[in-house]
Amino acid sequence: MTIAANYRERIQRALNAIEKGAQSGDWPDLGNLAEAAAMSEFHFHRIYRLMTGETPQNTLSRARIGGSLPELKGSDGIMGATGASAYGSSQSYARAVKALTGATPSQLQSDPGLFDAVTKQVMEPAGDTGPIQIGIAQLSPLKLVATENVGDYSDLNDGFDHLFEMVLEQIAIEEITGLYGVPYDDPRDVPAEACRFDCAVSTSAPVEPQGAIKALAIAGGSALTMRHKGDYDLVHAALDDLYRVAIALDLELADEQPLNFYHSDPESVAQEDLIADIHLMLKEG
């Protein structure tokens, strides 16, 4: 058995604690949030940041200031906003607003357009967030066909193009059912031109290993999994975050290499809409 860690549920409990604080005015601190998520503060901070795209402190600041902004337009102005945010003084509130938004409370009061823009910025965190990015998944065994690419990981399109050319000599394109990748080297330790990577596909029809095509068997099992959105060239860098989570949670990794599953064809999908799942296999025990 691997560690049973429901990351989504744990981080959601922390978000619920923040929402409760917004309603009651009794704002939680980092220790309260970590306790709600049943983690140490150290582990919680890393996992929260990886899963939501921001630190717990930034979420709290957004929630406190976001909830106070309507008060700036009220009759009590900055004093009312300070009370709503639960900052100790109007000076500390003004500093927090400036740090988060780049504007002072008086600027927000006098400029309706700026006020609206800042309100949207504060209430909507940057990037595609949501506590759904990391979890433990059960992977089914896979039988893939692959070819080894040696070279810079930013040039993997050439490797996949070569694989497709060879595979399509045996089957039709609609019989290719999935796009995968297996990295074998770290570009920080190995020269980019020497990095090995298996470009792989799953198929609904048999492909005979021949020439540069080889069979690749993935055993399946428990995996620490992260969803990456955006440029596929950044997938390998994102792998570091997954390793950090494994270390923080003391998860023992299996001997298998990481496995990437690419949901989309980068030639037909806009770069910002690309999605890849990165898997680190875990030892069963």
Distance separating alpha carbons of residues 131 and 13, to the nearest angstrom: 10
Whether the pLDDT of residue 90 is over 50: the answer is: yes
Average pLDDT over residues 121-147: 73
Other Cβ atoms less than 10 A from the Cβ of 24: the count is: 8
Distance separating alpha carbons of residues 184 and 195, to the nearest angstrom: 7
Domains of the chain, earliest start first: 7-123 (1.10.10.60), 134-281 (3.20.80.10)
Q: Quickly list DSSP for 190-238.
A: S-GGG-EEEEEEEESS-----TT-EEEEE--EEEEEEEEES-GGGHHHH
Look at residues 153, 162, 232, 225 and name the one whose alpha carbon lies nearest to residue 185: 153
* pLDDT, greater one: 35 or 121: 35
Distance separating alpha carbons of residues 123 and 66, to the nearest angstrom: 6
Average pLDDT over residues 126-145: 72
H or E stretch including 95?
A: helix 90-101
Q: What is the pLDDT of residues 157-205, one digit of tens each?
A: 899 999 999 999 999 999 999 999 999 988 877 899 999 999 999 999 9
Tokens linked to 144 = 């893939």
pTM above 0.75, yes or no: no
Q: Tell me if residue 56 falls in helix, strand or coil.
A: helix
Cβ proximity of 212 and 162 under 8 Å = yes
What's the pLDDT band for 130 if we cut at 50, 70, 90?
A: very low
Distance separating alpha carbons of residues 232 and 278, to the nearest angstrom: 11
Q: What is the pLDDT of residues 59-71, one digit of tens each?
A: 888 888 888 888 8
What angle, 0 to 180 degrees and rounded to 10, lies between the N-to-C axes of helices 56-72 and 7-24? 30
Q: Who's near 138: CB < 8 A, 6+ residues apart? A: 220, 221, 222, 223
Look at residues 68, 186, 62, 167 and name the one whose alpha carbon lies nearest to residue 125: 62
